[in-house]
């Protein structure tokens, strides 16, 4: 596909009543079939390369404001169930798929993907050439688009999508954050999420998690490692955090441009400047820590979204789950204060960092592995060790 191409890239023909369009801001039009909720929705078109976990992806608040293209050729095979939700509702605005399975096959399934999307007002388009679309996004970068299945024609949709704001400069964390403080003490998942041995019979570590768009699986991993978590809104200040007398502070994942989350950056700056508390940031939280340490962030061309990104620096490689469109600029970090501990081995962007003199670190990826590999779960144990050292006076 070339920019400005107005041809349709559908794979099958169907009656106009089930027809849907994906229109990109550069004028590209893809024709397919409507599924899920009928309507029109505008967002940033991105792609995810994972072979599983579509329900976790769609309910991950980090996808707020985005239309997700799945490179795996068929969605819906395993249906949906309430245990795999990362939030109370979907946060991705729309779904772009090659093919939709009409019949789920899983003992855990309680509903079809299409019925779930319809009930939650998530608009979808399938029957399009997702390989061509992903190549287009890789060459030209993530771009705003609109999925429409309400009968409007592409020419009427182009102005709508071109009026949509860029992801750069958008603070979406406040839109997905909790409005009220709550606690999370008991992991709701089993198997891999059983409580870690070192945490048994120990007094839980009091962690304040700042919710920029936190996933339930992250909360589960903190609890499984022996933490009692108090979740606070994204705009919380230093006093609101310290009032909970935490052993450590966690800065969560979330959507949007990290440089626009000014309250979060100020909180991290205050925590770094006035306390000795261990700080752990994931994804957006990692970027906010880097900004508080004087660094800069920039928008990636098409981002990292998938389950198999290799990260490391010292010969030990972690295969990681990632979902982000921005990254820290390594050159902007003061090497006397900050060590870049991991690089994304695909493009050498910053994947993790640590403060050289304080119990502070961040990882760009999602170590809770929901969905994805478990290689990076040890970072939760690392956070607990820092809190244990501080509690015992050894930090």
* Active-site entry in 126, 227, 283, 311: 283
β-strand pairing of 29-36 with 123-126:
antiparallel
HEC string of 40-64 equals EEEEEEEEECCCCCHHHHHHCHHHC
* Active-site entry in 225, 324, 366, 379: 366
Give the integer Cα–Cα distance in Å for 157 and 149. Answer: 11
Whose tokens are 């010292």? That residue is: 314
368 assigned to active site: yes
Give the integer Cα–Cα distance in Å for 103 and 306. Answer: 25
366 assigned to active site: yes
Neighbours of 30 (CB within 10 A): 28
318 assigned to active site: no
- Please say whether the beta carbons of 328 and 359 come within 8 A: no
Distances (CA, A) of 47 to 130, 166, 266: 9, 17, 32
What does the block give as tokens for 80?
A: 């949906």
Q: Can you state the angle between helices 262-274 and 284-292, rounded to 10 degrees?
A: 60
What does the block give as tokens for 60?
A: 């991950």
* Active-site entry in 44, 86, 114, 368: 368
- Catalytically annotated residues: 283, 366, 368
């Amino acid at each position: 596909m070339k920019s400005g191409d107005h041809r349709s890239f559908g794979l099958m023909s169907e009656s106009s009543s089930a027809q849907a369009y994906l229109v990109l801001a550069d004028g590209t039009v893809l024709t397919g079939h409507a599924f899920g909720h009928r309507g029109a929705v505008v967002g940033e078109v991105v792609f995810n390369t994972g072979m599983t976990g579509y329900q976790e992806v769609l309910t991950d608040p980090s996808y707020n404001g985005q239309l997700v293209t799945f490179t795996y050729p068929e969605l819906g095979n395993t249906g949906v169930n309430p245990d795999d939700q990362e939030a109370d509702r979907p946060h991705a605005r729309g779904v772009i798929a090659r093919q939709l399975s009409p019949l789920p096959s899983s003992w855990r399934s309680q509903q079809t993907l299409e019925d779930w999307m319809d009930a939650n007002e998530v608009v979808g388009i399938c029957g399009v050439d997702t390989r061509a679309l992903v190549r287009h996004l890789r060459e030209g970068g993530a771009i705003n688009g609109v999925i429409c299945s309400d009968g409007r024609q592409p020419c009427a949709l182009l102005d709508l999508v071109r009026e949509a704001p860029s992801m750069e400069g958008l603070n979406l964390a406040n839109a997905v954050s909790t409005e009220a403080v709550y606690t999370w003490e008991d992991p709701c998942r089993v198997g891999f999420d059983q409580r870690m041995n070192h945490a048994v019979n120990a007094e839980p570590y009091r962690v304040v998690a700042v919710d920029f768009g936190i996933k339930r699986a992250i909360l589960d991993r903190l609890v499984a490692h022996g933490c009692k978590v108090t979740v606070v809104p994204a705009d919380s200040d230093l006093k609101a955090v310290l009032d909970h007398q935490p052993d450590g502070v966690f800065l969560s994942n979330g959507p949007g441009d990290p440089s626009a989350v000014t309250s979060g950056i100020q909180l991290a700056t205050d925590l770094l400047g006035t306390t000795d508390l261990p700080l752990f940031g994931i994804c957006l939280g990692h970027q906010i820590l880097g900004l508080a340490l004087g660094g800069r962030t920039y928008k990636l061309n098409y981002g990292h979204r998938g389950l198999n990104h290799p990260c490391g620096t010292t010969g030990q490689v972690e295969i990681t789950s990632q979902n982000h469109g921005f990254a820290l600029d390594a050159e902007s970090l003061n090497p006397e204060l900050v060590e870049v501990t991991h690089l994304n081995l695909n493009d050498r962007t910053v994947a993790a960092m640590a403060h050289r003199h304080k119990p502070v670190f961040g990882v760009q990826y999602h170590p809770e592995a929901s969905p994805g590999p478990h290689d990076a779960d040890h970072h939760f144990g690392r956070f607990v060790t820092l809190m244990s050292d501080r509690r015992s006076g050894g930090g």
